[in-house]
Amino acid sequence: MLEQIAVSGTGPSARLAARILCRRLRHPYVRNVAAVARLMAGARDERVAAMAEEALALAWGNDQKVTNHVWDALTATPGPALRFLLAPAPDCPHEPRVRLVTAPPNGRRVLAAALKSADPELRGAMADLLRVTDHPVLLGDFEYALRSWPMPRSPGDVELEARAVLDLALTNTHLCQPAPVGRRRTGLAVVAILKGRFDLFDSYDPASLVAELVRLDDRGFPAPATEGWRRWLRALGPGPGRERLCELVTDGFFEALAAVADSGQEPDSPDLLPAFLFCTEQWERYDALDPDGTLLENYIVKECDDVGMYLWTVAERNGRQLPAPRGLAADPGF
Task: Write down the pLDDT at residue 155.
Answer: 57
DSSP summary character for residue 198? G
Question: For residues 10 and 45, is the Cβ–Cβ distance under 8 A?
Answer: yes
Closest by CA position to 295, among listed 316, 273, 267: 273
Per-residue model confidence as pLDDT tens digits over 1-38: 776 776 777 878 777 777 777 777 776 666 778 888 88
DSSP summary character for residue 330? P
The predicted model gives 85-114 an average pLDDT of 96
User: Read out DSSP for 279-296?
Assistant: HTT-HHHHHHH-TTSHHH
Closest by CA position to 286, among listed 254, 323, 256, 313: 323
The upper half-sphere exposure of residue 99, i.e. CA atoms within 13 Å in the direction of its Cβ, equals 20
Between CA 194 and CA 171 the distance in angstroms is: 11
pLDDT at 210 over 80: yes
Percent of the chain with pLDDT over 70: 89
Task: Write down the pLDDT at residue 324.
Answer: 56
Backbone angles phi, psi at 89, to 5 degrees: -135, 80
Higher per-residue pLDDT: 127 or 29: 127
Task: Write down the pLDDT at residue 184.
Answer: 60
**Per-residue H/E/C for 27-49:** CCCHHHHHHHHHHHHHCCCHHHH
Higher per-residue pLDDT: 312 or 162: 312
When pLDDT is cut at 50, 70 and 90, the band that residue 183 belongs to is low
Task: Write down the pLDDT at residue 158.
Answer: 66
What's the gap between Cα 181 and its chain centre? 16
Per-residue model confidence as pLDDT tens digits over 131-166: 999 999 999 899 888 877 665 555 556 667 888 898
Between CA 16 and CA 6 the distance in angstroms is: 8
Task: Write down the pLDDT at residue 267.
Answer: 97
The predicted model gives 73-79 an average pLDDT of 83
